[in-house]
């Protein structure tokens, strides 16, 4: 009897779970940009993974980048299950476009939707070609979701006049009650739970999407201040490795910093392939200037310029040098972080270089002792000094060859002059494996 009762309870539990509606909640509460774009992509992928029946977006944004908003709209439209939006304050500009792309719109008391005129990074109205593009997106999205396309266009273009809604010269921005009246909102609600109650969904599992630890780390490294520190480590690491070749730790630190700098911006769609290529090309030109070409010339200047420009461009959402929609603050932060990191690197090189080379840690990882000949260290051809000794040219020196000193043959070279076999020679220097000699 107990086994039968247990079986019935288990069966009832399984049936209840099968009928339970899985609801996933995600948030858009910041500027619409590549980071938001990636967040939405990760959230919708998670919704597919957990087989969510409904996705609800809790929104409060003043808008952002048009291109990223369009990509978010495409992702929402391609999602096969219902996507609802809860405007918990504002859905302006790009936020309005994303809201219109959802299957149902709910708004809190005092919320608003609209004001979708495209503006530049400085806040000025963008040229008409951008307004026309935004109008077409708003119109087609509203049509697809069964909303008035003319009103959607009126949220972009102030020249559109609609009876009892707006007059020419005013952009449409709806309050909650106005949005309900004109079909751009299903109902006024206080919470997500109230949305579910209105739709008669009682047995549900509410899951809030959270970024994984790796994604939170990536978001942390997108901070311009952190980017400036990474640039400092990159410059300092390369410099110290050049000063003490073979140590390995400085160049390892520089490599790790470069990865931490590039990967977050690349994953969030800020760093384009050509910008990364330009960065490595700039570093390569600097390397050529240091190791191949004498002095400091075109390669060095071009390398530094290319490196600085690419570091700045990687941090901002420009469209092939088009900064029209890049917020002025973003550009300022990118420039400040790049030059701040480079300036900090230079200060570190001059102020910290000497201290580092004298530190106990440096002495443990690098050879700092001078290896004197008197202590038995030499790379010369003889254990004793031959400087000043005389001998004869055993072969022709043009300018290298062999000489005979006290019955012993040595490799030798002149300062450029040619010597004939049998000429008397004098040793000028014996610090290398070949003697430097001259004719007496």
Q: Please tell me whether residues 338 and 273 are part of one structural domain.
A: yes
Q: Please tell me whether residues 95 and 225 are part of one structural domain.
A: no
Residue 198 in 3-state DSSP?
Answer: helix
Candidates 165, 173, 190; CA nearest to 107 is 190
pLDDT computed for residue 2 by the predictor: 47
Pair 434, 412: CB distance under 8 Å: yes
Pair 241, 251: CB distance under 8 Å: yes
Residue 8 lies in a domain: no
Q: Domain containing 256: what range?
A: 214-365
Residue 349 lies in a domain: yes
Domain boundary among 324, 345, 365: 365
Query: What is the tally of structural domains in the chain?
Result: 3
Residues lower than pLDDT 70 in the chain? 1-18, 121-123, 241-248, 290, 293-296, 319-329, 345-346, 348-383
The percentage of the chain sitting over the pLDDT mark of 90, rounded to a whole number, equals: 35
Gap between the Cα atoms of 162 and 114, Å rounded: 15
pLDDT computed for residue 274 by the predictor: 86
Q: Please tell me whether residues 127 and 155 are part of one structural domain.
A: yes
Q: Please tell me whether residues 233 and 304 are part of one structural domain.
A: yes
Residue 290 in 3-state DSSP?
Answer: helix
Q: Compute how many other C-beta atoms are within 10 angstroms of the C-beta atom of residue 212.
A: 10
pLDDT computed for residue 188 by the predictor: 96
Q: Dihedral, CA atoms, 244, 250, 252, 257, nearest 10 degrees?
A: -150
Residues in the chain: 440
Q: Please tell me whether residues 194 and 284 are part of one structural domain.
A: no
Gap between the Cα atoms of 138 and 147, Å rounded: 10
Gap between the Cα atoms of 45 and 23, Å rounded: 14
CATH of the domain at 108: 3.90.226.10
Residue 377 lies in a domain: yes
Q: Please tell me whether residues 137 and 229 are part of one structural domain.
A: no
Q: Please tell me whether residues 302 and 228 are part of one structural domain.
A: yes
DSSP state of 168: T
Q: Per-residue pLDDT tens for 287-313?
A: 777 677 655 678 778 888 888 888 888
């Amino acid at each position: 009897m107990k086994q039968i009762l247990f079986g019935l309870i288990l069966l009832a539990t399984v049936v209840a779970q099968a009928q339970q509606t899985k609801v996933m909640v995600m948030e858009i509460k910041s500027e619409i940009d590549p980071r938001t774009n990636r967040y939405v992509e990760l959230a919708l992928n998670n919704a597919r993974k957990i087989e969510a029946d409904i996705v609800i977006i809790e929104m409060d944004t003043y808008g952002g980048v048009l291109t990223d908003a369009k990509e978010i709209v495409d992702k929402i439209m391609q999602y096969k299950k219902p996507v609802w939006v809860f405007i918990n304050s504002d859905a302006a500009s790009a936020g309005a476009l994303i809201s219109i792309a959802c299957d149902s719109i709910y708004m809190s008391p005092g919320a608003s939707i609209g004001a979708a005129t495209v503006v530049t990074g400085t806040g000025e109205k963008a040229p008409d070609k951008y307004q026309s593009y935004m109008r077409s997106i708003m119109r087609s999205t509203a049509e697809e979701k069964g909303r008035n396309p003319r009103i959607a266009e009126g949220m972009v273009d102030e020249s559109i006049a609609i009876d009892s809604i707006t007059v020419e010269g005013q952009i449409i921005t709806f309050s909650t009650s106005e949005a309900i009246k004109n079909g751009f909102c299903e109902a006024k609600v206080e919470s997500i739970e109230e949305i579910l109650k209105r739709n008669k969904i009682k047995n549900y599992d509410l899951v809030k999407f959270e970024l994984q630890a790796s994604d939170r780390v990536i978001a942390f490294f997108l901070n311009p201040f952190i980017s400036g520190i990474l640039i400092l480590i990159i410059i300092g690491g390369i410099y110290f490795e050049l000063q003490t070749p073979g140590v390995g730790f400085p160049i390892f630190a520089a490599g790790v910093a470069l990865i931490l700098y590039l990967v977050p911006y690349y994953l969030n769609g800020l760093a384009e392939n050509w910008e990364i290529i330009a960065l490595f090309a700039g570093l390569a030109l600097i390397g050529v200037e240091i190791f191949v070409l004498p002095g400091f010339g075109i390669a060095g200047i071009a390398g530094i310029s290319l490196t600085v420009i690419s570091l700045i461009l990687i941090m901002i959402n420009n469209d092939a040098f088009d900064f029209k929609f890049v917020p002025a603050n973003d550009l300022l932060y990118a420039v400040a972080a790049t030059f701040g990191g480079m300036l900090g690197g230079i200060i570190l090189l001059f102020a910290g270089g000497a201290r580092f080379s004298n530190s106990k840690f440096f002495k443990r990882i690098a050879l700092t002792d001078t290896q004197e000949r008197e202590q038995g260290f030499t790379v010369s051809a003889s254990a004793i000094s031959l400087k000043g000794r005389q001998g004869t040219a055993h072969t022709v020196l043009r300018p290298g060859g062999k000489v005979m000193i006290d019955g012993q043959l040595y490799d030798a070279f002149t300062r450029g002059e040619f010597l004939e076999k049998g000429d008397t020679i004098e040793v000028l220097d014996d610090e290398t494996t070949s003697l430097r000699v001259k004719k007496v």
